[in-house]
Amino acid sequence: MVSADQRRIFVTGGAGFIGSHLVDRLLAENHRVVVLENFNEFYSPDVKRANLYSHMNNPLFTLEEGDIRKRDDVKRAFAHGPFDVVVHLAAMAGVRPSLENAALYTDVNVLGTQRVVDELLASSRGARLVFGSSSSVYGARSGECFTETDRIDQPLSPYAASKAANEAQLYAIHHTTGLEVVCLRFFTVFGPRQRPDLAIHKFCRSIDRGDSIEVFGDGKSKRDYTYVADIVSGIRSAMEFPLSGGFEIINLGRAEPVLLIDMITSLEKALDKKANIIHKPTQIGDMPYTFANIEKARRLLNYNPSTSLEEGIAKFVEWYKLEDKSAPILRRLTLGT
């Protein structure tokens, strides 16, 4: 039986880092969830399958495999609707990889988003779209916090440019169709299941194994590290809050930038091991710092990030140690071998 407050929710990229945590939360709340995921090779598909393994026999959960750029794949997934909310997290991610294949980032992130919106409007017109954007749209700054009204016309990478293009794309769609849209700019999300290419996960693995870590620049760059559970809480609020005017852009960060070298120190403490740091020149595309102004999120979403970097790092390292032991077992289970 469907309860009065049960909702049908469509999540693209639901097997990924943020997406799988959101799916966990939605299913725990007894909503019906459909995930569209292509399990690409950006990092191990086995890892992403393991993220959803515990839900595969849940009658409230449906997984469709497909590419957001392909109309038939998107249409097949939307056939499980109509949906009340669409959370669009699927994207080609990562600043540095985008430097090597800018066309792919434009193709997946811009064309793929259009495909999702086209089908939403065709089959779930009353749904709200919650879109996962990025702090990377802000580009380089000189010291001030990042506010949603700031200019975003100087992105430093093709990935950042694709996310800025998405926001303009979605505003135009809202303006011409009336679609409700909330764009959430995520700030350096970390926690259990973090992608293996991201700094905290990559550094943790190398420090634990006794390998050296490469630090680009002098270690004085800053990031507004935000724990994944806080991000998921922000997404949940964005799915339901009263949306006056039908379109909003909202930062989701912690508003406490941390030096890269201090983040490494937190990892060393949690692992009880010392990092062997090799300094490299600053890379093209990297932002010198990120710093979210979250007053709008506090006001509209009642957003209140509660996990400090140290607490989050400790939880991440705890997960990392368990995941390292359980990975072969989960891989066999998800592959059926």
Distances in Å between the Cα of 150 and the Cα atoms of 27, 171, 188, 290, 292 are: 36, 16, 19, 13, 11
**Catalytic residue flag (residue 43):** no
Dmax over Cα atoms in the chain, in whole Å?
A: 59
Q: In the prediction, which pLDDT does 155 show?
A: 93
Contacts with 152 (C-beta within 8 Å, 6 or more apart), sequence order: 137, 138, 139, 164, 167
**Model confidence, pTM:** 0.93
Q: In the prediction, which pLDDT does 325 show?
A: 57
When pLDDT is cut at 50, 70 and 90, the band that residue 329 belongs to is very low
Q: In the prediction, which pLDDT does 217 show?
A: 72
Q: Helix 309-335 to helix 45-52 angle, to the nearest 10 degrees? A: 100
Q: Which residue has the higher pLDDT, 329 or 293?
A: 293
On average, the pLDDT of the chain sits at: 92
What percent of the chain shows pLDDT beyond 70?
94
**pLDDT tens across 205-232, in order?**
999 999 998 888 777 789 999 999 999 9
Q: Which residues is 226 bridged to in the sheet? A: 189
Q: In the prediction, which pLDDT does 61 show?
A: 98
Question: Is the pLDDT score of 115 beyond 70?
Answer: yes
Question: Which residue of the set 43, 53, 105, 159 is catalytic?
Answer: 159
Q: Which residues is 292 bridged to in the sheet? A: 146
Q: Which residues is 180 bridged to in the sheet? A: 128
* First-residue to last-residue Cα distance in the chain: 35
Q: In the prediction, which pLDDT does 142 show?
A: 65
Q: Which two tokens stand for residue 150?
A: 């700031």
**pLDDT tens across 69-114, in order?**
999 999 999 999 999 999 999 999 988 899 999 999 999 999 999 9
Q: In the prediction, which pLDDT does 42 show?
A: 84
Burial class (CB in 10 A: 0-12, 13-18, 19+), 15: buried
Q: Which residues is 239 bridged to in the sheet? A: none
Domains along the chain with CATH numbers: 8-335 (3.40.50.720)
Q: Which residue has the higher pLDDT, 259 or 333?
A: 259
Cα separation, 80 vs 62, whole angstroms = 9
Cα separation, 120 vs 68, whole angstroms = 12
Write the DSSP assignment of 43-96 as a string of letters.
S-HHHHHHHHGGGTT-TTEEEEE--TT-HHHHHHHHTT---SEEEE------HH
Cα separation, 105 vs 163, whole angstroms = 9
**pLDDT tens across 164-201, in order?**
999 999 999 999 999 999 999 999 999 999 999 889 99
Distances in Å between the Cα of 1 and the Cα atoms of 60, 81, 204, 329 are: 11, 17, 45, 35
Write the DSSP assignment of 180-197 as a string of letters.
EEEEEEE-SEESTT--TT
Question: Is the pLDDT score of 284 beyond 80?
Answer: no
When pLDDT is cut at 50, 70 and 90, the band that residue 285 belongs to is low
Query: How many Cα atoms sit within 13 Å of 64 on the Cβ side?
Result: 21
Q: How does DSSP classify residue 40?
A: -
Cα separation, 189 vs 23, whole angstroms = 16
